Each structure stands twice: as structure tokens, then as C-alpha cells.
Structure 1
């Protein structure tokens, strides 16, 4: 029996107790059922809180000194990390995940999107990378492309590739278990301040609109990579470091009735506002990347990175001002420092662990 079945069974018992209590109390014959009702309520509430697992970790592989896939999966398990994101279907990683019970976001590289606009190719991709491993590997989302921008040559292929992958998933009768989506970054917003004014830019609207409508129609979330670090370092005169690190002692931005104490919430709620304006107010967002570098650039230090990761893990349990009480599913970037990653020096220093598997930070729990 999986957690879903357990929850359903408990809820059934809870409802039975609730209605029994209401019936008997109405007749004033069984008032002693009230304590039983409360006991059941707190038992269920406690199970949901302790069993909720909203934080995963991205598993990048751009390094020549990284542990083997088996060691990586063992480290996820020993560290209590129940969710992983990978960026392409490495067979060795998928084999190592068999039987691990780790939920997985599996990615499709931007360079492969055009080929998947062919339905037969999408069917083959699903057969090779999903069906050959399911149910031993717990696939949660397929991320069709990562941070594709409206002007990119791949932009025209994202939604057609998503549709073909979904068709292949549906043909395999896995559409209820695995959701097909894509990951964007925060640059698609034309306005993000204050959060209630969040909206997609004019240039991004024609690209993102068919994608979010597709997600909304198929019950899949939008993946968003959210990095307060880059927002802060790009505008340090107007954004304070405590606001970016979750350490502000009070509200920094008042937006109508909502008060924002950290930049992460402000960025996330700006995307929710943008989705509302685009006509999909109920579309869920999953934070598919968020992290802070430990060296290589402004404000990049072990102290700042450790503060950010710990505070983010603790924060996502409670939701944002706009979505209070709704735990945020989030994936930390990344598991290891990646010494072959290109770009600025900071790009090689986002790891929670060193390649020798030693932790860079004291993180008590990922759950």
C-alpha cells in the first residue's frame, strides 16, 4: 500500500468518525465521541506534516570527478532526499534508481526537441526511457526542455514535443502517474514588482500561452527555476541581501494586503499573478531549481549559501503569501559542485556536496 492509499484510508476513517459524531451528538446520546474525533483529526494532521516531502535536489553530471550513479542514489537515500531531477535520460542513473522509491523529474534536452515533433520518435523515446524502467523507477514529471526562451530556435518545438510525449505516455496508460511539462526561468516575466503586478512580457506571451493552456488542460504543473541570487546580484542597490536570504526581520515589500519578507516568495507569487492574467489561475507551480553558489562571485560564500539552503528548506513547508498554507514543491540546485560546467565561475559551485560526497553545509533535514 502506498502513501496515497494510506491517506485515502485514513480520510475514510476520519469522515466516518466525523459523521458518526455529528449523528450521535444530534441525538445527545454519544457525546464521548468528540475526543475520538479530535484524536483522529490530530493523528491525520500529524501524518500529513511528518510525511510531507516537498524538497528534492537536482542531480547535474557536468563534472569529471563525480561519484558513481549507485553512490549518488545511496547518498540521496542516506540524506533523506526523496526527489531528484535529472536533465536527460542517463541509462546508468535510471538503472541505479530502480527500487529506490525516489521520485524523479526526467528532462529532455533542448537540442532533442525538434526530433520529438515526430510522433514516432516521441513514442520511441517514451519506450526507451520511461516504459523500460517503470514502475521500478518512480517518474513524476517529464520536463520537455529547460529554460527555452521565445527567441530561441527551439521555442517552436516545445509545445508540439510536449503533446507528442503526452500522447505516448497516454498510450502507455501512464498519464495519471506521470505529468508532461517544461521548465522556464524568471526572464519570461515582463513585470515582477510588486508581485501582484506580475505578468509575462509581450514577447513571451505568444510562446508561453499555448504551453500553460496545455498544462492546465492536462493537470500538469509549470516548472519554474527561481534564483533570488541572480535577482540580488543584478540589482544590489534596491534588493537587500537579507531579503534574498530569508533573513529579513520583518516585511520588506507590502503589496496590498500581502506582506513579503523574502524575495523567493515575491518571485514565485509574481509568476502566479502572471498565470492569473494569462487565464490559468489554478495552474500549480513547481520550483524546479533554486540555489546559491558558495564561491566565484558577489555574495557567493559558504555562509550565504548554507543560510539560503537551510532557510529555503524550512520555508517551503508553509507556502507563499498568495498561496498560504500550500507547501511548495521545490528542487535545490544542485547535489554536487560541477567542475566542467561552463559560464561564470559561480556555475561550478552550487553543490550541496563536494564530489567526494562530503557535505558543504550543515543541513538537518530535506523533508
Structure 2
């Protein structure tokens, strides 16, 4: 054990160093890698077995897309922190001027399990033109008020999860901003987040960016395998070796332009499919997940050293999920609980 110097200036400096080190350690611990637990499959393990699989693989954070009681109960005492969604179809009922529905939802699904819950996600990828759009902000406020009445307002953060289509001018990243058609929707939500010191949750997929623009985006840039700088932002001379950082920084830039430069970004989904589309292979997906896990604690060029709390999509392939073939092939594990990409170091 080191002994502090008798010199008061050195002692103060050493003390400040220890405080900074502890703060940094806590920051990195908090900004962990989690995994989204989707349930749209008819061949998946039981909820209790899934929670055990999280624990045995050192996965300390989960996103759950609906308040499944069996999962909530299995999480108790597990040490796993939860990002719990209010499903899109439920959002309007929680937005009523009568706050009783929000209170009932919080009382039923949050209060008994509060020690496990870190975030409430009011809606996933709701766009300004969607019928639920006008309900998102009032539902967020009602949920927060219900948390406060249960003395949980300082412990559980309320947010919503967006996709990156709401960001335009993302090249270079510092030009990123919320598009004009979405600003009337996003602006009051961002003000809510800033006021309540909640992060903006963003689903970031370099895969979809790559397959939609293979002329300008290289596979190496999307997979974190570029040997050097690919993009230099002319506005600030920040260098980008991977697309993930560029996409996250375009969100930070948009938040700053919206008057919320201190609002954090949490990546609430990111992943790469192993089958079903261009570049959707087991090798590419494994490369993406391994490199991403190793990278996120470094931060981005706009936020160096500020680890990015990130949730990988998803725990299992979901054979009942609708949409493109890729949608059913994002799993990190098979339904028989075997790792698809070898042992990933989630911790």
C-alpha cells in the first residue's frame, strides 16, 4: 500500500489522483456491455434459464422489450441491471391526462423489481408520423411522476429509444442534426431528458448503414477492422477509424445543436446478423461483436475516454420475428444456449 507524502501539496495531488481513479473506475463499471433479450421465438429457453445464461457469461445488463413477469422475478438478486421497455402499443394508455394507468404500470412492473431496473424505455423507434408519437412525451412524464411518487425518481431514468434515421447530415459527424420533420417531435423529448439528466437511447446499426451504401462505406469501416483513419472531420479534425464512432458522434452533434450538449448517449441496440443478407455471415458478425466489445470503453473522438454503455442485439435468433431474413439471425446464442461466436468477453 502506498503511503502519502508528508508534503501537503504532494498529499493533495495524490488524494486527487485516487479520487479521479476511483471515479474513472466507477464510470467504466457503469458503462457496461449488455444484451437485449428478445422473445419472438417458439424454441427459446425458459426465462430462469436465460437469466442463468446471462450470469454464467458475465453479462450484467439486459434490455427487455416488454414487462415479462417471469423474467422480472428471475432477475431478482442476479446483479443484472435492466432496461425495461414500455411496448409501443402500451405508450398511448400511459399518456392519458389521468395518470392512473401509468401509476398502475409502475406499481405492477417496476416497484416490486426496482432494485434491478436502471432505465424505463417509453417506446422503441417511434417516428414523428407514427400514431403513438404524440403520446411519447406525456407517457414519459407520467411514468416519471409515478416513479417519483414511489421514491424511485432518482434511481431509475426514463427515456425513449430512437433509430438513426432521425439524424441527417451525419457526414461528417459534426454536421449531424435532427431532421426538420422530426425536430418538433424530438425537441421537447430532448428537453425532458436534459432537465431530468436522462440519456438518449439510440439504436445504432453499422450493418444497415453499410448494406444501404456499399459504394461509400467499406466493410472494414463497418466492422472495426480498418487499419487506419478512414474519415477526418474537416470541422474539428477528429479522425474516425470505424463507422460506429461516426454514427454515435453524429448523435452527440445533433444533441448539441438541439441545446443538450451534456445529454449522454446510450446505445440501446447494436448488432450484426449472421445470415439472411449481404455480408450477413457468422464470421462478420463475430468480428463485429468482438471488436465492438473491445472498443466501447474507449469512447468516441468527440467523447474520448467516456465509455459508451452499449446493448448488443440480441441474445437469441428469433424465428417468429417478422421482416427481412436478417431480422431472425441476430442471436449471440443458439436456442440450445451455445455461443454462436465462441466465448465473448462481456465483462
- TM-score interval, normalised by the smaller of the two chains: over 0.9
Match of 2:251? Answer: 271
Q: Is the 8 A contact 2:28 2:297 kept in 1?
A: no
> Residues 47 and 273 of structure 1: is their aligned pair in 2 closer, same or farther, counting only changes over 3 Å?
closer
Alignment partners' CA distance in 1, 2:206 and 2:244? 6
Secondary structure at the residue paired with 2:303?
A: coil
CA distance in 2, matches of 1:288, 1:168: 23
Local SS of the residue matching 1:293? coil
Check if 1:319 corresponds to 2:299: yes
1:78 equivalent in structure 2: 56
Partner residue of 1:298 out of 278, 287, 302: 278
Name which of 221, 227, 246 aligns with 1:243: 221
- Displacement of 1:83: 0.2
Is contact 2:28-2:307 (8 Å) kept? Answer: no
| Aligned residue in 1 for 2:231 | 253
Q: Report how far residue 363 of structure 1 moved.
A: 3.5
Contact 1:192 1:270 in 2 (8 A): yes
Q: Distance in 1 between matches of 2:196 and 2:233?
A: 32
Answer yes or no: is the 8 Å Cα contact 2:27–2:307 preserved in 1: no
Pairing partner for 2:68 from 77, 85, 90: 90
- Partner deviation per Cα, 1:128-185 (whole Å, 9 max, x = no partner): 00112233xx100000000000111110000000000000000001011100000000
Three-state SS of the structure 1 residue aligned to 2:298 is coil
CA displacement at 1:210 relative to structure 2: 0.3
Shift in alpha-carbon separation, 1:34–1:181, aligned structure 2, 3 A: closer
2:174 corresponds to which residue? 196
CA–CA separation in structure 1 for the residues paired with 2:194 and 2:131: 25
The equivalent position to 1:288 in structure 2, one of 254, 264, 268, is 268
Partner residue of 1:172? 150
Residue 159 of structure 2 corresponds to which residue in structure 1?
A: 181
Question: 40-49 vs 164-173, which deviates more?
Answer: 40-49
Distance 2:337 2:200 in 1: 31
2:7 is matched with 25
Give 1 or 2 for the bigger CA radius of gyration. 1
TM-score (norm 2): 0.94
Residue 224 (structure 1) aligned to one of 202, 210, 214: 202
The separation in 2 between residues aligned to 1:46 and 1:107, in whole angstroms, is 29
> SS at 1:205's partner residue?
helix
Q: Distance in 1 between matches of 2:15 and 2:94?
A: 53
C-alpha offsets along residues 215-260 of structure 1, whole Å, 9 cap, x if unaligned? 0000100000000000000000110000000000000000031000
- Shift of residue 209, structure 1, vs aligned partner: 0.3
Distance 1:92 1:41, change over 3 A: closer
**Matches of 2:301 and 2:25, distance apart in 1:** 24
| Correspondence for 1:145 among 123, 141, 150 | 123
| CA distance in 2 between partners of 1:37 and 1:133 (Å) | 38
Q: How has the CA–CA distance of structure 1 residues 149 and 45 changed in structure 2, closer, same or farther, with 3 Å as cutoff?
A: closer
Distance 1:274 1:233 in 2: 24
> What do residues 53-82 of structure 1 show as CA deviations (whole Å, max 9, x unaligned)?
510000000000000001000000000000
Displacement, 1:364? 3.6
Flag the 1:178–1:43 CA change in 2: closer, same or farther, 3 A: closer
2:104 aligned to which of 124, 145, 148: 124
**Residue of structure 2 equivalent to 1:102:** 80
Unpaired runs of at least 5, structure 2:
none
**Runs of 4+ residues deviating >4 angstroms:** 33-53
* 2:142 is aligned with 1:160: no
Distance change in 2, residues 1:49/1:235 (3 Å): same
The match for 1:11 is none
Question: Which runs of 5 or more structure 1 residues have no equivalent in the other structure?
Answer: 1-13
SS at 1:132 equivalent: helix
8 Å contact kept, 1:53–1:82: no
The answer as to whether partners of 1:310 and 1:363 remain within 8 angstroms in 2 is: no
2:330 counterpart residue number: 350
CA distance in 1, matches of 2:95, 2:42: 33
